[in-house]
Every structure is written in C-alpha cells, then in structure tokens.
Structure 1
Amino acid sequence: MISKIQFENELELIIKNAIREDVGDGDHSSLACIPISATGKAKLLVKENGIIAGVSFAKMIFEYVDKDLIVETLLEDGNPVKQGDIVFQVSGSSQSILKAERLVLNSMQRMSAIATKTNSYVELLKGTTAKILDTRKTTPGFRACEKWAVKIGGGENHRFALYDMVMLKDNHIDFAGGITLAIAKTKRYLQENNLDLKIIVEARNLDEIKEILESDGIHRILIDNFNYEDTRTAVALIGNKSQTESSGNINEETIKNYAECGVNYISSGALTHSIYNMDLSLKAF
C-alpha cells in the first residue's frame, strides 16, 4: 500500500489539476458581476439518502482556493444522510466559494455514491468473515478520492496502483510462459531490485490453484470467475498457505454466497466504475 505522504500528495495533485482545468485564467462569471470584497455563505444540501463522503476533501479544496474561508461541519464523512440534511456551511469571499463550488460538488457527489455502494456491500457481508475490496477500475486522475470513499463506506483498499503490489493476472501469466515461470521471474526481479512487494496470483481454474500452491511466498490467490462449488474447493486446497480473494462479475445477488465459500476477500470493480453520483447541491443563503 502507498504511504500516507504519497496519498496526501495524490490528493493535492487532484485539487491543483482540477482547479487548473476548471478555473483557468479566472472565473469570469463571478469576476464580472460580484465585487471582490463581497462575502457570503453557502450550505451543502443533501437531496437523496446515502452515506456522505468527501467532507474532509471539500475542506482541503476550500483551503486551497482561499485560506480565509470558514467551514462549519455539521455531518462527518461516513455519516448516514437523508434528503434535506445540511452537511456543512461555508462562509467568506463569495468569489472564492463560487470558484470552489463545482470541484467540491463533483468530488462529494461521486465519493458519496461510492461510499454508499460500498456500505451496501458491507451490510450484505455481515455474518461472514469476508471483506470487500476495491480495484483499479477507477476514474483516471481521481483514484485517491475514490479509494478514500471506499474506506469511508466501510470497505478496504486493494493495491493503489501498479507500483505498490505485484499482481500476476492471466495476461502476465500467458506472456511469461505460465504460472510457475511468471512467479519465478517475479521473485528474481524483486530480489534483484531490492523490492519488498507482496505477490498476488490469479487462477482461472482448480489446476492453476494447484500449480500456484507449488510455489512459496504467494501472499494471496485470486480465485477469478469461479462458481460456488469450485470456490469452496479452492479455499479448501489453499488452506492457510495464502490469503484468498474472489472476483469476477460479483454483484449484490451473489456476493453473500461467495463470502460463505470461505474467502478472505471479495473484490468488486462495481464499487467505483458503476455508480451514479449522489444528488448534492451547494446553495447560497
């Protein structure tokens, strides 16, 4: 996993790039009709039920745009919200509030939707020992926030990117000449480059599970697109030799069944790639 400093740097880059993209050489709508000395207040209004996420990130955005903006928080990240709730109030320069408005809304709407989706999966997994994981199926340039939202919703983060964990999937295995060769080459590469990275290996069938188990030092085996019966068999074969993770077209109807097969983790790209933004608005008052 990436460090706290790396994560914070990612968040800063997201804000800088988003403001560059949205504001450019100036918010001419506000500059044209609102005096630079004008002050005002706005509230973040919830327009549908769910789990709120992005409050702390919104504060970072306001701080970046104008250090003199004051945010009064009424609800925190991870709180359940309903239509009509007010999450926070922001006061200060009217121009600054408007400059930050769209980035705050875009971020919080998407993060809240992800947190809400994740929380629904967490609820479905109650009574099992399995934990829900996100994937790299994220919006380009916004990954740190989306993975943060998964955590806020009660899920756990998979690897952040290609650099913080080795994950040998079907194409890696086929290009490398097979599972055993791919694992051996990976271990040699890590040793030669003095890298301490965990290794996950994907299996497409029970024979590949058995072949993976012939190599030591595999952190987790990805049981990909297995049916329930074969998943239970794979978990029994693996035992305590490696962690286990189910993936592949797992949804609300099937997630509990896979969890009951005994896997440690279930990963779902749907947490981040198939969600509809929560309806929020920032209203002056």
Structure 2
Amino acid sequence: MDFHHPLFESLALPLVLSFAATGLLRAGLGAVHGRRWAATGVAPAILVASAWVIGWQQWPGSLTEELPWIYAAAALLGVGLEGMRALRRTTWLASCVLWALVLVGLSDQPLALQAVTWMVGALAIAAVLSAPPERADAPASLVVAGIGLAAVAFLSGSALLFELGLSIAAAIAGCALWLWPVARIGFGACGAVVSVIAWLAMAQGVALLTPVHSGVLLLLAGALLSGPMLRWLPGSLRPAMHALIVAALAALWVAAAVMLAFHQGSQAPGGKQDDLYYTPRW
C-alpha cells in the first residue's frame, strides 16, 4: 500500500483518524465528558494529514508550511475555550482575533482587502458557532464547503491545495459520523474552532497561491451560511433530515462557485506566491 498516494493522504488518513480519535475520546471519557470533548478528535486528524503531505517545519518559509502551525493554534484555542466553557460570543471573539492574526501572518495584502476578508471570515465563524452543537448542521456545511474548496483549487491549477482542502473535509466528515444520523457527541468549540479556522486558512491559501477570482471564494464562504439561512425550517423536522437539507443548500453554493471557476478557465497555476513542488500519483 502506498502511504503517500493522494487518495490515502487526503481521504483515508484524515477520515479514519478523525473517526477513531473521536470515538476513543467518546468512550474513554465517559458518557458526559466524552460527549463534550469527543469533537477534539478532528484536530489531530487535520494536523497529521497536513504534516503528512507538507511536513512540519520549525521555521516555515512558505504559506503552505505555515498551515500546520495555524491548525495547531486553532486546536489549542478551541480546547481552551471548551475547557473554560466560554460563551458563544466569547468563542466568536477569540476565533475572530485568531483569524485576524492568520491574515496578517499569511500575507502583506492592503489593509482594506484584509479588512474585507476578515469580515467575511467573521461571518463564517459566527455561522458555524451558531449551529446547535448536538446537530450535524455545521459539520455538514463545512464538509461540503471543504469539498468545494478542493475542487476550486484543482480547477485553479494546484494539486497540493486540492489535496489539503480535501483532507480538511475528510477530517471533519470523520467527526460528523458521530453526529449523524444520531447525535452521540457535541460539536462544541473544541471541534468547531479548528474546523472553521482551518477552512478559512485554506481558502486564503487558495486566494494567494492561485489565480482564482474572489467571487468564487465568496460563493464558497456562502456555503457556511447554509445553517443560519434555514432556521425557518419547522422545529419538528428530524435533526438528521435538517442536516441533509443544510448540506443540499451548501452544495448549491459550491456548485455555483465551481461553475464560476470553470467558466473563468483558470486552469494554469499563476499564483502570487510559490507553491510547493507537487506531483500527484493517481
């Protein structure tokens, strides 16, 4: 078995690791604490998958090498907020501060552009955190948006970012299997913060390293708003069905983004920063 095959690195490894880590935390910590902390399992899956592909550099020299450090910071923040039992507003504010630091660290874009990007990210964070932790709504939108981000990266000419984006979606999906169709855990700050920050950091990476149009990324970010957009659905609707409807709406946003990216014909890499040399072995 080729442990560096893209299908293993971007799908099997993060999916299985996330599912197993979440299950072990759920079983090992008991019914009460396990349900609360099990979503932490998504963090090591995202970290290991990214380090498996691009390594872990003590002194990162490129944008992609900074991603594992961003994921680690988001994971620690989520665990800390969960341990403090922080209110949703506090969790949102802390996540937005980290998102601002990520933007400053990844590039030297004009302040106005960074402010707009930060606001879009802040809305996405709010949407993810507003979802009830006992439902699969937030993970569903994140998984679909992650697949869309991977597809856009591929259309924009970066196989590396395609693989990294797909690994994030797979890691979140592994945790989401414990929430759907029956909720056996809660998707609290320990899972939600690292998931949404990882997605936003990857989206920023696609924006900086490929010629993708900003409108495409805005459509992808819209997929994360699918949960709040469907709050009007009847409360009697089964949670499993509600998550499927959220995923379906998110898929519409993603389909629009992919169609726009395809229409623009951004097939050749022409990024603003150096992408790692990468030869996929399909």
Same fold (TM over 0.5): no
TM-score of the superposed pair, with normalisation by structure 2: 0.27
Structure with a larger share of its residues in strand: 1
Taking CA–CA contacts closer than 8 Å with sequence separation of 6 or more, which of the two structures ends up with the larger relative contact order? 2
Structure with a larger share of its residues in helix: 2
TM-score of the superposed pair, with normalisation by structure 1: 0.27
